[in-house]
Structure 1
Amino acid sequence: MGTRPLLERHRAVMPSWMNLYYEDPIELVRGEGRHVFDSEGRRYLDFFGGLLATMVGHDIPEITEAIREQAGRILHTSTLYLVRRQVELAERIAAASGIPDAKVFFVNSGTEAVETALLLATQYRRSNQVLALRGSYHGRSFGTVAATGIRGWSATSLSPLNVTYVHSGYRLRSPFRGLDDAAYVAACKEELRTIIETATAGDVACLIAEPVQGAGGFATPPPSFFAEMKSVLDEYGILFVSDEVQTGFGRTGAAYFGIQAFGVRPDAMAFAKGIANGVAMGGVVARGDLMDCLGANSISTAGGNPLACAAAVATLDVIRDRDLQANADHVGARLRAGLDRIAADHACVAEVRGMGLMIGVEIVTPGTTRPDTALVTRILEECRSRGLLIGRGGLLGNVLRVTPPMTVTEEEADEALRILTDVMDKVAAGAAA
């Protein structure tokens, strides 16, 4: 019987476009550290982390206790009242952002966070023109879908924004692919200037960009990419918004916020996902004058509620106290090296890329750059059968996403690599048969 009855109920009342992983979807009912258990008692090594939201692992005592303690006091008050934990959390994020005179507004998700950032930028600049990167993903709402540069995630062509897409750091399918780093960045920079001069009315509100593209398959640009792109934005007075929903709080290993690794200070940053380790939480940190530019009243009924803020403060404490940014850097390098070895032995791997504990493995038909989504499906199924959960994504749906919680150990990384090696050997042998 398994999960079949629940699956049938799911299909009866949930949207058809809400996809589930695996031929036989699983129900996860419990977690411990980097492991989760399904409703039939099977144990898995979790290397997808609730779509990167389970930032530091499952059932972390400090976070569980903070949630329990706050739940015993009060769950909700709204932003119409002072919330001590909200103020404490905002102070920490503002300080870590490096943005001058920073202010913070809390919401409930990454989509809401990006919507807020776009609202601020368009109001501040009095323009609905926005630049976004090709291959980007910014959310599922009306405005954020408009700024999303992946066809598979664009539910509608209607938009409150006038969006123009510019070149990103995804080099595998780029016409600039053969260029070295410096020449690639120069080409992207020149294209940005050309787009602004020819495809916009000039008064662009902002460029929004993910430092490492999440749903886009962890496309990672050369180190100088964002600094050079921002130099063009500065010439035109265009704001820069960094979408840190997946890259924030040390997951990249290289910096607390992903954009900081590129030596760039944005005007605003949207964050969410792992900040509260899976409890619904998001927000925007921005320059004070940018945050204060709204002339109408605005609130967030549940944004920054006491329970979510308690979870977020505890999560940031765990990241700091256990030095998890350094762990993401160290174990991420170990994972990357192992995945590079797998790539060297398997012609179906076109590229391994990413930063820290955000690693993408692009799967193609050997000898080509044609995406092999069927092979990706088989790899995910085989990993699941061996007790490893990973994700998928990419512009064409052909990228494996390897994103364990930041508390992952060397031993767990090695276990995942052994499973992935066995799986890749098996599927390669099957393809050759």
Structure 2
Amino acid sequence: MFQVITVSASAERGHFLRHLVHATGQLLLLRELETPLDELGAHKALALHHPDVMVVDLTGGEEGALAAYLLKRGAPSTPVVGIGGSEEVRASVGQIGVAAFTSDRPEPAELLSAVGVALHHSCGVLEEKLLSFLPAKAGSGCTTVVANTAAALARLGRKVLVIEADLRSGVLPFLLDLPVRHSLQSLLSDSSGIDAFRVNNCVTQAHEVDWLLSSRAIDAPLPCWYDYFRLLEVVRPRYDFILVDLPELVNVATVEFVRRSRRVYAVCTPELLSMRLCKQRLAELEHWSVPTERTQLVVNRWHADDLAPAEVERTIGRQVAQVVPNSYPAARAASTEGRPVDPETRLGQSFTEFASRIAGVEYKVAAAGLGDRLRAVFSRS
């Protein structure tokens, strides 16, 4: 749960806020304060408690604004949610960093939504180490791209976590023959208790990568944005890169990943249907307020006879970050043996090239050998 301090304008309003916080099911009340609040009172409250968010009742006018100012001065990095208040009062507290507001008597869902806005404004910023991969359509090979990019980053000496956010149809356990002893769903079932110990219990370690895998259980409750928010807050200090394998459609939970990712890669193939659906997926990302400059393409299963990468860029309207060659024999051998693609193959080299670019490491792709060229020819027959 997110821990909160409340400041109310009266005893009656304090009673209302107390029940409102409890009704959200996601907020834990640490301390109740009442206006007028002086500097000493604010200092004592913040010395004893370290809330995730502070909820200030602005219906009392200037006294509420003063309380918000004192709390922000004492804990400048802690977000504040304003309850009610006139436009003038909201404008004044907006100047000190209060960016989330509710009506005078909000419902629990409205308060929780405002808490989300406040948290994202304060600390839900762009994560340089977070990369999300979105399939244009089922069968685009997005999971293969994620798994092999993660393995390539690990070979470069980076500490990598893969989150299988495709909860209903994730195939990472099958692709790499990995056991799912403690799933991502079990970790998210009580997200308020997520800590390093629980993450370690749920992580599967293989191929020098940490994997948070889905059980694909149809009866598991779907997560919300705050579940993934808490997960990211715990894992981000521990890894050099966090790769997220997304489902086709971004939802109210996975939006937490795409909004905070340094880059969102839409994975498509050179086929016309895949490219058309890719344009739709990119439009959906814009709907979720993901800037276009943070989205790029990974063109999977490409062959020299297919549309040139420059034409793919013009067709879809995004830059191609990586072209992954069509090499069915190498991919089949890897999946049959439950391992990443051999890095010495042409397909493996493309993933190493992609990982090197992500990690900022110079890499030159070796020329394909005769065996690779022959396999490429026969894979088209």
TM-score range, shorter chain: under 0.3
- Structure number with greater CO (CA < 8 Å, separation at least 6) is 1
Structure with max Cα Rg = 2
* TM-score, scaled relative to structure 2: 0.27
